[in-house]
Amino acid sequence: MLSEGYIEQAREKHGRLLIVDDEEAVLQALRRLFHRQYDVVTHTSGAAALEQLKTDAFDLIISDMRMPGMSGAELLKSCFEQYPDMIRILLTGYSDLESAIKAVNEGNIYRYISKPWDNDQLRAVVAEAIDTRDLRSANERLNAHIVEQNEELARLNRELQDKYQEKSDQVGEAEARLTDAYRNLRQEFNSMVHILVSIMERRNGEEKDSSERIARLAKEFAEFSGLEGQQIQDVYYAALLRNIGKVSLPDAVLSKAIAQMSQSEKQEYARFTINGQTTLMLLEPLQNASSIIRSHMELYNGKGFPDKLSGDAIPKEARILRIVNDYVEVQREHNFLGETLDEESARAYLLKMAGQRYDRELVDIFMDVLEDFSEGVVPNMERIPIEEARVGMTLAGNLVSPAGVVLLSEGTCLTERHVAKLQAMQRQFEGHDIRLHVRRETAADKG
């Protein structure tokens, strides 16, 4: 029998979990499920858990919904107010669904899991939560490392100047060292940028390497448009990292089309370009790219965001990126048009809106670029109605309930049990248009 406040002594653990349930059998089952990967602490009441949190820190808390005294919703709301960095997960039965949805909103809960839970799903949710936290920490460390590298480059420049004053005959050697240092720094910088892109794509549910293909299209467009040298490189980096500001958006916002968002969610979403600029502006090599990212959602008619710029007041680089971004977006599900266009229709849409949403001259140039660009830029994914779910399908994005709660994670391969639960959810949310984001079948798959 587990005692109150039992702490699992571990060897190599990936984090600390606090699990709260008034049933000892549930605590034992969850401790067995997680003790190999994590430090596990269990309690049978919310009050005991809050007392433990006064002295100990945890990465994640899992709480049952129905408990005597303090409910799981009340406990997780208190944790959100006192320990906002701790990830919160709620266990609940189907009969508690409305209470669970309310708790998700009030306690900013990361996920809710229905009882009886699926062990693999619950392990995956916890691992994803810890990974997301780690990825954000890695992003901060990478930013700090780039700043340190820039300081090192500045130091080498100062050293070169000092040596020039002391001995002019050593200038050639110092210049060679500086050139080597700069080359190495540039290589490291490019590697770090692509690590950031990988983190961004994973968090935002984007297809792996899709940003690189879009960035190459934007770079070719910039060349056709008469930009040169560093300007072209800035457009490339801006296209790569255009969605970096979405990393901090909550799942409830990130998973919706703009038309589905509430007013407050739209306001939060509209800050993602400012968030992106703020994230990158302190990195000297990305200062210009960060400014492009801030303005790339402006529209030629002045109805974009965040600064309501219009016409030539929008930097040319940002006008270029907006055209590329919208060309890709209108071919994806849940876009701002409300319908998915094919490649030919996407071109027709850009031409139709030239002079309104987009710079007419640049749209004409972009048509020529598309004739020359042979790579595909739209992910091999599709969204289907929930009733069309079949065993063996693989989710290409998180399944989100009408309340904004992630029910199944990207990469889940649907089983008979999943399909049965999806059919039950369809009946429960009758009247809501719930769709699955799945990978399209290729000819090889069908064969």
Same domain, 275 and 390: no
Residues 348 and 226 in one domain: yes
The boundaries of the domain holding residue 176 are 130-204
Is position 213 within any domain? yes
Q: Which residue has the higher pLDDT, 101 or 122?
A: 122
**Residue 250: cis peptide before it, omega within 30 degrees of 0:** no
- C-alpha dihedral sign at 63, 67, 69, 74: positive
pLDDT of amino acid 402: 65
CB neighbour burial string for 382-392, b if at least 16 within 10 angstroms, e if fewer:
beeebeebeee
Mean pLDDT of 288-297: 97
pLDDT value, residue 251: 75
What are the distances in angstroms from CA 442 to CA 229, 285, 381? 39, 40, 10
Residues 225 and 80 in one domain: no
How does residue 2 score in pLDDT terms, banded at 50, 70 and 90? very low
Q: 92 vs 161, which has greater pLDDT?
A: 92
Say yes or no: 112 and 45 in one domain: yes
Q: Is the pTM of this model over 0.85?
A: no
Residues 254, 375 within the same domain:
yes
Q: What is the CATH number of the domain that holds 397?
A: 3.90.105.10
Q: Are residues 167 and 249 in the same domain?
A: no
Partners of residue 421 on adjacent β-strands: none
Same domain membership, residue 227 and residue 195:
no
295 with 334, same domain?
A: yes
Of 117, 145, 163, which marks where a domain is finished? Answer: 117
Counting every residue, how long is the chain?
Answer: 447
Last residue of a domain, one of 341, 362, 379: 379
- CA-CA distance, 425 to 251, in Å (whole number)? 19
Cβ of 200: how many Cβ atoms within 10 Å? Answer: 23
CATH of the domain at 50: 3.40.50.2300
Is residue 296 in some structural domain?
yes
Q: Taking the alpha carbons of 378, 379, 384, 390 in that order, is the dihedral positive or negative?
A: positive
Q: Are residues 178 and 211 in the same domain?
A: no
**302 pLDDT exceeds 90?**
yes
The tens digit of pLDDT for each residue in 141-195 reads 887 878 888 788 778 777 777 776 666 555 566 666 777 766 777 778 888 888 8
Number of domains in the chain: 4
